[in-house]
Amino acid sequence: ESSAVGVDEINIGMAHRGRLNILANFMGKKHEQILNEFEGGEVYPTNIEGDVKYHKGFANEIETFSNGSIRVFLAPNPSHLEAVNPVLEGFARARQHLLAQGDNSKVLPVLMHGDAAVVGQGIVYETLNFAGLDSYQTGGTIHIIANNQIGFTAYPSESKSCDYASDVAKVIRAPVIHVNADDPQAVAWAAKLAIMYRKKFKNDFVIDLVGYRRHGHNETDEPGFTQPLMYKTIKAHPTVMNIYAEKLNKEGIISTEDFKARVKKFRQYLQGCLNTIREKPYQDGHRPPKAIEKSLKYALASKEQMEAKVDTCVSKEKILELSEKFLNFPAGFTPHPKIAKLYETRKAMLNDEGAIDWGLAEIIAYASSANESIDIRLSGQDSGRGTFSHRQVVLRDFETNEPLNMLSMLGEKQGKVDVINSPLSEAACLGYEFGYSVAHKEALVLWEAQFGDFANGAQIIMDQFLVASEAKWKQACSLVLLLPHGYEGQGPEHSSARPERFLQSCGNLNIQVANVTTPAQLFHLLRRQVKRFFQKPLVVMTPKSLLRHPKVISTFSEFSDQTFRSIIDDDSITDKAAVERVVICTGKIYYDLLEAREKEAASGAPIALVRVEQLYPFPLNDLTKVIDSYSASKEIVWAQEEPVNMGAWMFMRARLEDITKGLKKVSYIGRRGSGSTAEGSLKSHKIEQQRIVFDALKLSCPVSDDSE
């Protein structure tokens, strides 16, 4: 039906119940291939871990009843039921952009839900909320609730407060059709109605497919333990196939004998498939349709390729040329007076050799990339202005309230730049951008947390998709996470982006984790994301107080003559042989250490401050060279703001000990272990922060006796 009204592609997201049926009977995956997976016939390279067969995705082109064809894509998913919902929506939105520059009629998203999960999982509502938002809507999603009246072992009355599992869709006023799964023709009619509605109104539609699970929660379950009466009824109830066969028999379309013969023939066919793959190895020659291949491509990268320098430079002349476009307001636009002043300040930053701060460097990274026809999508809570008002890219006319994207005026051939204030969601928004980045691999896609601490609201998306999708499903993306991180005394929910959680998830070159300290470093890091032939997610611990720190600036030469540096040595040390202690750190604490070293009189040998800008993939060779260059040093100190059980210490300790090979002492200086990320009191924070800095620099710390 969708093919007949102009849809070229269907994107499906669903959990694992019924997935093999969808693959075999709808999507045309060969039975031999499915059985081969069950027989353990798949062998993965050592660098690909794979996944169970009922989590995998698939793409194909299938024939329709109208003598046409349509592409279908089933997204891979984890066992976290509804977590795939926003991922699929983001994927579909990107496909709509790639296929038809935003004509959402060409790609149809279909989400299949479980009845208990659709009301029990909050990410379902978060995804539904996208339906009417300009930067997220996909022209109408068809939701199919596989309503089996048993979510796991709980009664419906134990798992939902509403009458119908579909009631959650009332929030977007989507029409709902309740249809009896025992009546295939009624189900087909409901699907046709859904397509007609979507074409006309470009809105979501819900089919509540009311059925049952013949074997309970799974094939090894005993559903009679918890629902004895229902399963007595189900046991006596004929199957859908038998009910429909009887209907066709009464209508004279197929005889009982013909029906039985067809069933027998199909079982023999399946047995033949199984015998075939047991006799000789199955060779999978399937390839996805060419029109979707680009979104599914996967390029394996070696450590050497990930460490290779990438030309991300942009000349001073080009920066000045672009700045004329993104720093000057069009005729008739009235900016907020404070914004006008900020833009004048930014113009002044571009004088002489340049004194470019973090916000301007970030904008130059976007503008220069868009100028090279790269699409950019940045979303998050407050992303238009930036949580800390450092970005100010999407402006509002001070008189009319009309919006203006200052990065939309770079030139006719520029890439599309979307800077989006997202809904107040972490899980669904991050999942959406992940799916978008998977589909649109050449784009620079970024998701920004309001504070890095809030990112943990999307932990399932991080664990099940971001860090593992390449290993499980050969699903590559280059999504960038911007997570504000740094200890400024703002308390436990406004300090830490939990870098330790990302570092614990690092393995087999799956992601990149960085905590950069200069605007130019951020510039090169972002441009590197779209300059390489492979895709890897990037997690960046971005600053807060450093956004306006007088020392956090970069000159034009750092943009035009350098590339990204994973390690930054201490260029203030003139005699490395005189250094006895090397303090290694990452991120904002470097500037606290630098300020104290400059202000406080220190006796004894000079102390070097070395910055680790990229934590993973770990820059072993670069850091080893720097440490070895301090030949007389006796002690290597890792200094951090975070508690000892958090931050990067647990990740760095073994690596530093491996580099020094026991010839130098490796020490930790930072906060003691804690269940909370930071102090709740500004006074306590300042005392502890000063202690850390002074201990690292071997200074006498003027801490009061009540510091305990």
* String of DSSP letters for 453-507: GGGGGGHHHIIIIITTHHHHH------EEEEE---SS--TTSS---HHHHHHT--
Question: Cis link prior to 156 (omega < 30° from 0)?
Answer: no
Tokens coding 271: 């047995």
Say how far apart CA 29 and CA 250 lie, in whole Å. Answer: 33
Residue with tokens 């090894």: 220
The CB density around residue 312, as the number of other CB atoms within 10 Å, is 22
In the structure encoding, which two tokens stand for residue 461, read together? 């998306």
CB 370 within 8 A of CB 415: yes
Q: What is the DSSP letter of 554?
A: B
pLDDT of 605 reads 86
CA distance 553 to 550: 7
Cα–Cα separations (whole angstroms), residue 137 to 170, 189, 439: 17, 25, 16
Count helices and strands in the chain by DSSP H and E runs: 25, 21
The 10 Å CB-count burial string (b at 16+, else e) for 610-637 is: bbbbbbbbbbeebbeebbebbeebeebb
Q: Give pLDDT, residue 40.
A: 76
Question: First CA to last CA across the chain, in angstroms?
Answer: 71
Q: What is the pLDDT of residue 47?
A: 52
Q: Is 13 helix (H, G, I), strand (E, B) or coil?
A: strand
- Name the strand (E) or helix (H) holding 580: none
Predicted pLDDT at 412: 87
β-bridge pairing 607-612 and 567-568: antiparallel
Other beta carbons less than 10 A from residue 600's beta carbon: 13
Residue with tokens 């300040």: 345
Using CA atoms, how far apart are residues 586 and 592, in angstroms rounded to an integer? 11
What per-residue confidence (pLDDT) applies to 705? Answer: 46
Tell which residue, 458, 423, 418, has the closest CA to residue 440.
418
pLDDT computed for residue 218 by the predictor: 77
- DSSP 8-state symbol, 410: S
- Rounded to 5 degrees, φ, ψ at 113 are -120, 160
Tens of pLDDT along 683-704? 999 999 999 999 999 998 765 5
Gyration radius from the chain CA atoms: 29
| Contact (CB, 8 A) for 444 and 480 | yes
| Residue ranges of the chain whose pLDDT lies below 50 | 705-708
In the chain, the amino acid numbered 362 is E
Long-range CB pairs of 181-184, under 8 A, 24+ apart, other chains included: 181/147, 181/209, 181/210, 181/211, 181/212, 181/240, 182/211, 182/240, 182/243, 184/240, 184/244
Helix 427-439 and helix 84-100, axial crossing angle in degrees, nearest 10: 40
Phi, psi for 634 (deg, rounded to 5): -110, -20
Cα separation, 699 vs 131, in Å, equals 58
Q: What is the pLDDT of residue 708?
A: 38
Does the pTM of the predicted model rise above 0.85?
yes
Which three-class secondary structure state does DSSP give residue 646? Answer: coil
Q: 340: which residues sit within 8 A by CB, 6+ positions away?
A: 329
CA 211 from centre of chain: 34
Which residues is 389 bridged to in the sheet? none
Long-range Cβ pairs for the range 396-402 (8 Å, 24+): 396/336, 397/333, 397/334, 397/335, 398/334, 398/335, 398/336, 398/337, 399/334, 400/334
pLDDT digits (tens, 9 = 90+) for 126-155: 999 999 999 999 999 999 999 988 877 888
Q: What are phi and psi of 499, to 5 degrees?
A: -60, -30
pLDDT score for 156: 83
